[in-house]
Structure 1
């Protein structure tokens, strides 16, 4: 649908919308074009949207785990961005964590890596304020 779909594209709102269209095409089901918000809203009643959202979250968890392992992120992985806080109530934490840790033979190491969802709308400004001594870190 959009040429090369790297992680930055695939794990974004546009990526979720494109994944929805791809799932519909693979299932030979006609569904309306939806943006990420539309896919998320429709997931409660539309099996195609629900599958796209489940796949999206699984891909995200797996990719986050890959990066944690590749970079040795013992201090943790903090997931942030425009779409993620809006999906917080849709994330099955146990399934997400299991997919994040599924890095045989490194599951034990991965189980020790903290994983958090950043929900503050402007977390960078909190850090800047802390660095400037305006707030506690």
Structure 2
């Protein structure tokens, strides 16, 4: 799969399954929500979540740099809010910014996790208010 396919709920579940096989661990097949929930007690799930977040931080930084995202990077999706309690914000930010020699430029790029369950509707409501005026 492409890297952005791996950085989805389905990708987290696949990563968990691959790590379990590599580690020879006897763990049940899990979907993304189950991996997130099991990360507190299961070393394979915890490793999958940690690797998933590290890959996401790196790719988000790559894309911010490639596209000149000075206005910010907003991370959204179904699984990310479930992982926020496992997210080490400082480590995520450091990996996001680790783009030598552009690290200084990257430090000024805002980074946010979208937690609203339906952010598109917030934008549509704001757009509707703008067109009423």
Residue 66, structure 1, aligned to residue 62, structure 2: yes
Deviation of the 1:8 alpha carbon: 3.2
Aligned residue in 1 for 2:71? 75
Deviation of the 1:7 alpha carbon: 2.7
Residue 89, structure 1, aligned to residue 85, structure 2: yes
Aligned residue in 1 for 2:103? 107
Query: What is the RMSD computed on CA atoms of the aligned residues?
Result: 1.1
Counterparts of 1:120 and 1:29, CA distance in 2? 35
The worse-fitting range, judged by mean Cα deviation, of 69-78 and 120-129 is 120-129
Corresponding residue pairs, total? 130
Q: Secondary structure at the match of 1:132?
A: helix
Gaps of 5+ in 2: none
Residue 15, structure 1, aligned to residue 11, structure 2: yes
Deviation of the 1:19 alpha carbon: 0.3
Residue 116, structure 1, aligned to residue 104, structure 2: no
Residue of 26, 32, 42 corresponding to 1:30: 26
Counterparts of 1:41 and 1:122, CA distance in 2? 22
Counterparts of 1:34 and 1:128, CA distance in 2? 35
Q: Secondary structure at the match of 1:133?
A: helix
Using the size of structure 2 for normalisation, the TM-score is 0.93
Deviation of the 1:105 alpha carbon: 1.1
Counterparts of 1:100 and 1:8, CA distance in 2? 15
Gaps of 5+ in 1: none
More helix by share: 2
Counterparts of 1:127 and 1:38, CA distance in 2? 30
Q: Secondary structure at the match of 1:78?
A: strand
